[in-house]
């Protein structure tokens, strides 16, 4: 799928405490702290929308269990000879 | 018929990431690779409105450590077998977050509690999670001895060089020169000593199999910490022995730094003082060992099998549980009397317990013991409401008489009761036991006179078993003869003398 970044992240504004560790840690530097405040009075992290590689570093640096969810482009479906139609080889 | 296709099998093997919830991707074509671990609760039932957030400050290292531990537990597939022992400190509330078995223990005692849990449930994954105030200050003894015994537990030691929860006092791990509320001019080794290096300290012991220090200071070190945490848990899964991971962790709030600077401070200040290293990673070689034989208590006490129930006729005990307190001065044979009763009970096939309670003043001071006789298993050996009190001194009588259960029995070794004594609604019998014993030839037999009196009054155990136990215990033939006479004399006294009778007192002993 051309045009799509390899990765993507979702930040749960309800859990983000605005510590900024993900912004500091992100290797491709595609995270930032929002200008506006969240309901908790912090500047939550936001994803610029581009450049994420799905490396997951931000997830491990973030202290909140569920503030960040990391996605990666799914690998194209693996096709093995014989697995579509015809006779199936038994699993080893 | 095998329905698993090769292609599916390959895909399953390829699925290295943990989350099976793939379908809530943000955009088409993406799959979840990292998300909140199911080892965490969905909602944290804590006493706050913020049930979707942890209580940790922004940028706190605990959250990261929690995530790494949760991920490891999840990946090992041991969530249902994990017991998490949380400490006192900021991480005291770990039980709000981890959906595993949770125990929160007294300050510093996590390794001791984990020891008990692991020994009782060896198939569980028992991990202790402690901070530096908990582990390296108040709990120093517990961690050293748990490590030295090689308990097969995993300990995570989160070191942030300060007391966080209580507001920033100096910890044993506080760096030289580091300011805290109790070292406002910086830690001075001349006055407060040097930082305690727990990993180095524990690696001087033989038993631990794995000790590593990691830091939550930057991306690379966090990933190292992830591996170390996983390895420490794998070690326990594989039953290898004691594993310990020290995690240098930022405390932005108490350090007075923003989270990013705090993390940098770990790298620049803490790591030079607490070098990262694998201090221990080896298999434990234990000398050949054979388990000691397990023998029943009656056998150890040389009560022969047939002796246990070798009485002429089974004795109707007339109680389900009899709680007895025996009290007097040290040297009066109070504790021995308790042992005799317990052994007699054992011979008569009862469950028994004997709990001595004596202070450092045992000689010529007060001594007492608790004896339970029961037809059922005994829950607690502690007797707080005795049904029978044997008081061998006036002090003991005054001290323990108010505890006696209503309709209970007090046997007092003395000529008569002190007149000013307010007694509960119990039967009271005064036995001039020491005069009787003196007459028989030895004041040592006073306790046996009381035993005879007690058996006569309560009929709880038989004279026959008392004689058997005395024969087994008393090696001196002359003394044994006196004891026989003393037992009979106590018995006779109660059966043939008038006793004080039921004394009812309105003394506020309410039920």
List all residues 6 or more positions away from A79 whose beta carbon is below 8 Å from its beta carbon.
Answer: B7
Confidence check: pLDDT of B215 > 50: yes
> What's the total number of domains in chain B?
2
Distance CA B446, CA B486 (A): 8
- Torsion A31-A32-A34-A39 (CA) sign: positive
Q: Is residue A85 part of a domain?
A: no
- Torsion A4-A5-A10-A16 (CA) sign: negative
* A74–B30 C-beta distance less than 8 A: yes
| DSSP per position, B341-378 | HHHHHHHTT-EEEEEEEE-TT-TTSEEEEEEEEESS--
* B6–A88 C-beta distance less than 8 A: yes
What residue ranges in B162-303 does DSSP mark as E strands?
A: 210-215, 243-248, 277-281
List all residues 6 or more positions away from B481 whose beta carbon is below 8 Å from its beta carbon.
Answer: none
Q: Are A17 and A64 in contact (CB under 8 A)?
A: yes
Q: How confident is the model at residue B156 (pLDDT cuts 50, 70, 90)?
A: very high
Question: What ipTM was predicted for this assembly?
Answer: 0.83
Q: How confident is the model at residue B303 (pLDDT cuts 50, 70, 90)?
A: low
Residue B63: which of A8, A64, A91 has the nearest Cβ? A64
User: What CATH number should be reported for the domain holding residue B454?
Assistant: 3.40.920.10
Bridge partner residues of B367 (DSSP): B328, B358
Q: How many angstroms separate the first and last alpha carbons of chain B?
A: 73
Instruction: Extract the tokens encoding B96.
Output: 């709000």
Percent of chain B scored above 70 by pLDDT?
87
User: What CATH number should be reported for the domain holding residue B92?
Assistant: 3.40.50.970
Instruction: Extract the tokens encoding B315.
Output: 């004795």
B6-24 mean pLDDT: 40
Distance CA B402, CA B415 (A): 20
Q: Is residue B299 part of a domain?
A: no
Examine the fold and report which residue of B281, B308, B333 is the final residue of a domain before the chain moves on. B281
Confidence check: pLDDT of B5 > 50: no
Query: In what helix (H) or strand (E) does residue A33 lie, and over which residues does it extend?
Result: strand A31-33
Does B34 contact A at CB distance below 8 Å?
A: yes
Confidence check: pLDDT of B138 > 50: yes
Does B14 contact A at CB distance below 8 Å?
A: yes
Q: Supply the pLDDT for residue B315.
A: 64
Selected residue with higher pLDDT from B20 and B462: B462
State whether B71 and B147 are in the same domain. yes
* B63–A62 C-beta distance less than 8 A: yes
Q: Supply the pLDDT for residue B353.
A: 95
State whether B269 and B323 are in the same domain. no
Does B376 contact A at CB distance below 8 Å?
A: no
| DSSP per position, B474-509 | ---HHHHHHHHHHHHHHHHHHHHS---EEE---SS-
Q: Is residue B224 part of a domain?
A: yes
Q: Please, which residues 286-345 of chain B have a Cβ atom closer than 8 Å to chain A?
A: none
Q: Is residue B275 part of a domain?
A: yes
Minimal C-alpha gap between B6 and chain A (Å):
5
Residue B33: which of A27, A65, A70 has the nearest Cβ? A70
Residue B89 half-sphere exposure toward CB, CA atoms < 13 A: 33
- Give the count of Cβ contacts less than 8 A between chain A and B: 138
Distance CA B295, CA B298 (A): 8
Give B250's DSSP letter: -
Q: Is residue B161 part of a domain?
A: yes
Q: Is residue A92 part of a domain?
A: no
Residue for token pair 């799509």: A4
| pLDDT tens track, chain A, 92 positions | 456 789 999 999 999 999 999 999 999 999 999 999 999 999 999 998 889 999 999 999 999 999 999 999 987 666 555 445 445 555 54
Q: Are B250 and B259 in contact (CB under 8 A)?
A: yes
What are the backbone angles phi and psi of residue B63, rounded to the nearest 5°?
-60, -45
Confidence check: pLDDT of B12 > 50: no
Instruction: Extract the tokens encoding B50.
Output: 């913020």
Residue B2: which of A14, A59, A90 has the nearest Cβ? A90
Examine the fold and report which residue of B226, B253, B281 is the final residue of a domain before the chain moves on. B281
State whether B473 and B395 are in the same domain. yes
Domain that holds residue B74: 32-281
List the helix and strand counts (H, then E) for chain A: 2, 4
* B35–A70 C-beta distance less than 8 A: yes
Q: Is residue B21 part of a domain?
A: no
Q: What pTM did the predictor assign? A: 0.70
Examine the fold and report which residue of B228, B258, B281 is the final residue of a domain before the chain moves on. B281
Instruction: Extract the tokens encoding B226.
Output: 């992830």
Phi-psi region of B168 (alpha: psi -120 to 50; beta: other; left: phi over 0): left
> What's the total number of domains in chain A?
1
* B33–A63 C-beta distance less than 8 A: no
State whether B277 and B322 are in the same domain. no
Q: Is residue A53 part of a domain?
A: yes
Give B306's DSSP letter: H
State whether B256 and B325 are in the same domain. no
Minimal C-alpha gap between B234 and chain A (Å):
20
> Tell me: the pLDDT tens digits for B305-362?
444 444 455 567 778 899 999 999 878 889 999 999 999 999 888 999 999 886 655 5
Instruction: Extract the tokens encoding A11.
Output: 């930040």
Q: Is residue A76 part of a domain?
A: no
Distance CA B282, CA B241 (A): 10
* A90–B263 C-beta distance less than 8 A: no
Q: Are B433 and B413 in contact (CB under 8 A)?
A: yes
Q: Supply the pLDDT for residue B23.
A: 43
Contacts of A18 in chain B (CB under 8 A): 58
State whether B85 and B194 are in the same domain. yes
Average pLDDT, chain B: 87
Minimal C-alpha gap between A34 and chain B (Å):
16
Q: Is residue A67 part of a domain?
A: yes
Contacts of B64 in chain A (CB under 8 A): 60-63
Selected residue with higher pLDDT from B425 and B332: B332
Compute the C-alpha angle B245/B249/B255, nearest 5°. 150
User: For every residue of B34-78, which 3-state class applies, written as one string?
Assistant: ECCCCCECCCCCCCCCCCCCCCCCCCCHHHHHHHHHHHHHHHHCC
Q: Are B332 and B390 in contact (CB under 8 A)?
A: no
User: What CATH number should be reported for the domain holding residue A22?
Assistant: 3.30.70.20
List all residues 6 or more positions away from A56 whose beta carbon is below 8 Å from its beta carbon.
Answer: A70, B33, B34
Bridge partner residues of A11 (DSSP): A68
State whether B335 and B273 are in the same domain. no
Q: Is residue B16 part of a domain?
A: no
List all residues 6 or more positions away from B32 whose beta carbon is below 8 Å from its beta carbon.
Answer: A69, A70, A71, B17, B19, B21, B22, B24, B25
Q: How confident is the model at residue B500 (pLDDT cuts 50, 70, 90)?
A: very low
State whether B148 and B255 are in the same domain. yes
Q: Return the closest-CA partner of residue A22 out of A69, A56, A62.
A: A62
Q: Is residue B410 part of a domain?
A: yes
Q: How confident is the model at residue B18 (pLDDT cuts 50, 70, 90)?
A: very low
Q: Supply the pLDDT for residue A81.
A: 52
Instruction: Extract the tokens encoding B292.
Output: 């000691």
Confidence check: pLDDT of B1 > 90: no
> Tell me: the pLDDT tens digits for B44-93?
998 877 889 999 999 999 999 999 999 999 999 999 999 999 999 999 99
Q: Supply the pLDDT for residue B230.
A: 98
Q: Is residue A77 part of a domain?
A: no
Distance CA B168, CA B182 (A): 8
Q: Under DSSP, is residue B326 helix (H, G, I), strand (E, B) or coil?
A: strand
Residue A60: which of B30, B59, B67 has the nearest Cβ? B67
B362-373 mean pLDDT: 81
Residue B201 half-sphere exposure toward CB, CA atoms < 13 A: 15
Distance CA B117, CA B155 (A): 13
Q: Please, which residues 249-268 of chain B have a Cβ atom closer than 8 Å to chain A?
A: 252, 258-260, 263
Minimal C-alpha gap between B229 and chain A (Å):
13
Residue B34: which of A4, A63, A70 has the nearest Cβ? A70
Query: In what helix (H) or strand (E) does residue B109 lie, and over which residues does it extend?
Result: none
Domain that holds residue A16: 7-71
Q: Return the closest-CA partner of residue B198 out of B253, B264, B242, B247.
A: B247
Q: Return the closest-CA partner of residue B474 out of B310, B353, B336.
A: B336
């Amino acid at each position: 799928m051309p045009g799509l970044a390899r990765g993507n992240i979702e930040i749960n504004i309800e859990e983000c405490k605005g510590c900024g560790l993900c912004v500091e840690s992100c290797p491709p530097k595609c995270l930032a702290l929002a200008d506006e405040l969240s309901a908790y009075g912090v500047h939550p992290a936001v994803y610029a929308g581009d450049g994420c590689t799905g490396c997951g570093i931000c997830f491990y640096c973030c202290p909140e269990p569920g503030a960040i969810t990391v996605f990666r482009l799914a690998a194209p479906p693996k096709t093995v000879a014989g697995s579509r139609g015809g006779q199936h080889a038994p699993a080893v | 018929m095998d329905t698993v296709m090769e292609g599916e099998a390959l895909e399953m093997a390829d699925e290295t990431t943990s989350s099976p919830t793939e379908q809530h991707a943000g955009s088409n074509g993406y799959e979840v690779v990292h998300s909140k671990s199911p080892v965490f609760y969905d909602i944290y039932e804590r006493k706050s409105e913020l049930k979707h957030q942890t209580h940790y400050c922004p940028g706190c290292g605990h959250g990261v450590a929690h995530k790494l531990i949760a991920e490891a537990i999840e990946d090992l597939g041991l969530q249902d077998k994990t017991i998490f022992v949380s400490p006192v400190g900021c991480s005291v509330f770990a039980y709000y977050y981890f959906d595993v078995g949770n125990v929160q223990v007294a300050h510093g005692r996590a390794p001791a509690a984990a020891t008990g849990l692991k020994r009782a449930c060896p198939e569980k994954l028992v991990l202790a999670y402690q901070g530096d105030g908990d582990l390296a200050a108040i709990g120093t003894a517990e961690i050293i001895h748990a490590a030295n015994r090689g308990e097969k537990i995993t300990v995570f030691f989160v070191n942030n060089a300060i007391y966080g929860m209580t507001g920033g006092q100096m910890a044993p791990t506080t760096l030289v020169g580091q300011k805290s509320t109790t070292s406002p001019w910086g830690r001075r080794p001349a006055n407060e000593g040097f930082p305690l290096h727990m990993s180095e300290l524990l690696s001087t012991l033989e038993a631990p199999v794995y000790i590593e220090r990691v830091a939550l200071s930057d991306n690379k070190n966090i990933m190292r910490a992830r591996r170390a945490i996983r390895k420490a848990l794998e070690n326990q899964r594989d039953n290898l022995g004691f594993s310990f991971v020290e995690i240098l962790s930022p405390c932005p709030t108490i350090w007075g730094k923003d989270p990013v600077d705090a993390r940098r401070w770990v790298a620049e200040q803490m790591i030079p003082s607490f070098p990262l290293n694998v201090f221990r990673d080896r298999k434990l070689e234990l000398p050949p060992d054979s388990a000691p034989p397990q023998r029943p208590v009656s056998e150890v006490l040389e009560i022969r099998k047939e002796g246990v129930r070798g009485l002429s006729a089974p004795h109707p005990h007339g109680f389900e549980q009899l709680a007895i307190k025996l009290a007097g001065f040290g040297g009066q044979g109070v504790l021995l009397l308790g042992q005799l009763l317990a052994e007699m009970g054992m011979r008569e096939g009862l469950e028994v317990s004997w709990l001595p309670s004596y202070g450092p003043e045992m000689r010529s001071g007060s001594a007492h013991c608790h004896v339970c006789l029961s037809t059922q298993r005994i829950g607690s050996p502690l007797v707080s409401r005795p049904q029978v009190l044997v008081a061998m001194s006036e002090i003991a009588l005054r001290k323990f008489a108010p505890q006696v259960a209503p309709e209970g029995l007090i046997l007092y070794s003395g000529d008569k009761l002190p007149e000013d004594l307010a007694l509960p609604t119990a039967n009271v019998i005064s036995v001039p036991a020491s005069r009787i014993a003196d007459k028989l030839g030895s004041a040592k037999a006073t306790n046996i006179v009381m035993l005879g009196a007690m058996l006569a009054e309560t009929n709880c155990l038989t004279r026959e078993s008392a004689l058997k136990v005395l024969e087994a215990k008393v090696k001196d033939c002359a003394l044994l003869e006196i004891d026989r006479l003393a037992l009979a004399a106590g018995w006779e006294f109660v059966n043939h003398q008038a006793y004080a009778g039921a004394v009812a007192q309105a003394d506020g002993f309410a039920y």
